[in-house]
Structure 1
Amino acid sequence: MSCLGVLFAVPEDVVRKLGDIPLEERPEYISEELEEEYFEEYPERTYELDKSWDAMHRLLTDGTLSFGGEEPLAKAVLGGDVLYFDEDHDDYIITAKTPDEVRKVYEALQGLEDSEIRRRYFAIPADEYEDKGEEDYEYTLEYLQDSLSFWRYAAEHGLWVLFTADQ
């Protein structure tokens, strides 16, 4: 999947508003309202994962691109409440993590050593992830490490985290 991923640290009222929007309109709300507002007014509450989210999720879970996995690491990307996903079109994903889940994700990510991240990345089955290799590992590692300040901010401020990916 070659979608671009973004994390947003938001207050609960944003998650409630998103939940009140009809399902088919949620991607438009994210791309036309939330992204514009957060990138301009709250840069400390946004973190662009680019395409690294795919490998990142796989290495934090069982190597597959599914919504499940062992918590709390499985909550970092695709985990949490699925607010939007269309299996037929695979065009957009929105998930939400509670402040408690955010805190647990941050603590778990903070405890991961580079050697463990490397082991997990290279354990991803090659038939599951075609971009696997040293260059992609370095790219994914950089985004994962750089995301820690975002996760710390969200955890310290008791915010929810939305993950979004679009094509």
Structure 2
Amino acid sequence: MTIRAAGPADHAAIQALVAAAFGQPDEAHLVDALRADGDALLELVAIEDGAVAGHILFSPLTTDTGRRLAALAPLSVQPGRQKAGLGTALMQEGHRRLAAAGIEAVIVLGHPAYYPRAGYSADLARTVKSPFRGPHFMALELVPGSLTAPLTITYAKAFGL
């Protein structure tokens, strides 16, 4: 498996993959809208046997404190390849690249049994004011202590919030 930045030649395969992974096209439309708005902060693909087997997209979050945060959405793995570590590998590489670019923390709205394996925590997200709350709303600090003080986030326009 190879993880690399997504490019225009990958877009059709990504759209098909995301729709297949989620069983409907809404998240694929979100990816297209984030790209169209210039809000694809980091977009990676996992390539296996010459084909896109996984995809992850991070978009910028606006904060009231000036902190640099990103939203993880969506993360998709080809249905026949799920539970093989591709999603975790995509997250780890994304986190590494975001940290190198000065992003301090990542926010995700996702499955509370899956994302904590990559370090995400609902407890850590308690200081973040957003339209979301509860066990599905999680955060990961890329810079230790970056979420200790309360802050308010605003998602990219494509999220419709």
> Aligning the two structures, in what range does the TM-score lie when normalised by the shorter sequence?
under 0.3
Q: Which protein is richer in strand relative to its size?
A: 2
Instruction: Indicate the structure whose relative CO is greater, using CA pairs within 8 Å and at least 6 residues apart.
Output: 1
